[in-house]
Amino acid sequence: MKIGGLVSQIRKITGGTILAVELYFGALSGLGAYADINSPQIRDQYHSERLVEEEMRRLGVVNKRVNVRFINRSCDGILAPAYSEKIREGEYEITIYPCATASSVKHELYHIEDGHIDAYDKLPRFLWSVMDLIYYEPRAELYSIGLELKK
């Protein structure tokens, strides 16, 4: 194969890969936007707690304590309207900003229930990041729009 043919092949493969990655992230973002548009806004701490309790029952969350922290401030500069983290074994916290919707809370609770947050401590960071992009986030997004997923 000549150099020109090899360069042409590399361009095709690279272009196809870039297109696939763009389509993947576009679809993932689109799912999140769709879920948010069709979901009620979180208003306050009380609403946040009730929503978390209701969704925990729906998901069947047992043997896990989930604290809710509503931060009533501007969402300017916020990377995510809600996020979850592990506090200690069996205890988690979801932080929620006023720009969050019920689907954001469902998304974060799914991360907790399906073990995505626990995996953060068990996997090397790079591997967890890859798993987050190709497995954890898509599953949480699909759950947030109402698709029931089996483990």
Mean pLDDT by 10 residues, the chain (151 residues): 64 68 73 80 93 92 93 88 94 94 93 94 90 88 80 61
Question: So what's the pLDDT on residue 151?
Answer: 61
Choose among 53, 61, 151: nearest CA to 102: 53
Question: So what's the pLDDT on residue 105?
Answer: 93
Terminal-residue alpha carbon distance, the chain: 47
The phi and psi torsions of 70 (rounded to 5 degrees) equal: -95, 125
Question: So what's the pLDDT on residue 144?
Answer: 87
**Model-level pTM?**
0.80
Question: So what's the pLDDT on residue 65?
Answer: 95
3-state secondary structure (DSSP) of residue 147: coil
- At 83, which helix (H) or strand (E)? strand 82-88
